[in-house]
């Protein structure tokens, strides 16, 4: 398209006006029977938070804080997903156990040393998510015992790609469950009780 195809938008002079700031609505509140897509982080709309396997644990934790996420997709040099790393992986017992088993120090570990490899994970298909409700997502997270679930989509070329991510913390925010700081609900029962209310 040519640049001159676009006309400028009309502007309003503000001199003498009293103007406030809109309140952020935040994510829309959801219920148990709301469409599951309403609580999925769609990676076609939000860039995926990724990290290389040779990144230090400190840098990975910093990247999570900067992005405001609790999960990073671990990618190789060709941007193929090889695993995931979560806040629990970084700040839990896993780094200490891995360092002890290797006879090293936690600060010498890299993401690839403590991530959950993709081969050890499960995912749900976008086609199933499109027909599901939030209650199905909560039940899936509860059954897996994880705070996150990956959503995959099969492309026209027959290749699977990670299309979205479900997060228990995000679902809790969207149902209006009070959260202290960045603490996630302690149990899925809290989330289920809140969406049932």
Better-predicted residue by pLDDT, 182 or 28:
28
CA dist 132 and 69 (Å) reads: 24
Please compute the mean of the pLDDT values over residues 172-193 and round it to a whole number. Answer: 61
Within a domain: 91 = yes
**69, 163 in Cβ contact below 8 A?**
no
pLDDT tens-digit profile of 120-147? 999 999 999 999 999 999 999 989 888 9
Within a domain: 113 = yes
**123, 162 in Cβ contact below 8 A?**
yes
Within a domain: 4 = no
Within a domain: 114 = yes
Domain count, the chain: 1
pLDDT-derived band at 20, boundaries 50, 70, 90: confident
Please compute the mean of the pLDDT values over residues 51-78 and round it to a whole number. Answer: 95
- Domain ranges, residue 143: 33-196
CA dist 73 and 115 (Å) reads: 9
Query: What CATH number does the domain containing 48 carry?
Result: 3.10.580.10
Q: Is the pLDDT of residue 184 over 70?
A: no
Determine the pLDDT at residue 189: 62
Would you state the structure tokens that stand for residue 90, as one six-digit string? Answer: 């970084």
CA angle 55, 56, 62 (to 5 degrees): 95
Q: Flag whether the pTM goes above 0.85.
A: no
Query: Taking Cα atoms as reference points, which of 72, 194, 68, 64 lies closest to residue 138?
Result: 194
pLDDT tens-digit profile of 150-171? 999 998 898 999 999 999 988 9
Within a domain: 56 = yes
Q: Is the pLDDT of residue 105 over 90?
A: yes
pLDDT > 70: what percent of the chain? 85
Determine the pLDDT at residue 108: 93
- Tokens 């360092």: give the residue: 99
Within a domain: 12 = no
CA dist 80 and 97 (Å) reads: 27
pLDDT-derived band at 3, boundaries 50, 70, 90: low
What is the torsion angle, in degrees rounded to the nearest 10, for the CA atoms of residue 135, residue 88, residue 24 and residue 173?
30
């Amino acid at each position: 398209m040519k640049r001159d195809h676009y006309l400028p938008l009309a502007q309003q002079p503000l001199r003498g006006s009293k103007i406030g700031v809109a309140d952020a609505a935040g994510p829309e509140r959801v219920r148990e029977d709301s469409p599951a897509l309403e609580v999925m982080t769609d990676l076609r709309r939000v860039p995926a938070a990724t990290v290389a396997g040779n990144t230090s644990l400190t840098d990975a934790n910093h990247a999570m804080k900067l992005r405001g996420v609790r999960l990073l997709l671990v990618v190789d040099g060709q941007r193929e997903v090889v695993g995931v790393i979560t806040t629990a992986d970084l700040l839990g017992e896993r780094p200490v156990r891995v360092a002890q088993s290797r006879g090293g120090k936690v600060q010498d570990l890299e993401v690839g040393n403590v991530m959950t490899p993709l081969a050890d994970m499960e995912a749900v298909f976008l086609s199933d998510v499109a027909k599901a409700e939030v209650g199905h997502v909560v039940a899936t997270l509860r059954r897996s015992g994880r705070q996150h679930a990956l959503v995959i989509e099969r492309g026209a070329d027959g290749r699977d790609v990670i299309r979205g991510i479900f997060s228990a913390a995000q679902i809790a925010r969207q149902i209006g469950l009070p959260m202290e700081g960045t603490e996630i609900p302690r149990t899925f029962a809290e989330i289920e009780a809140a969406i049932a209310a």
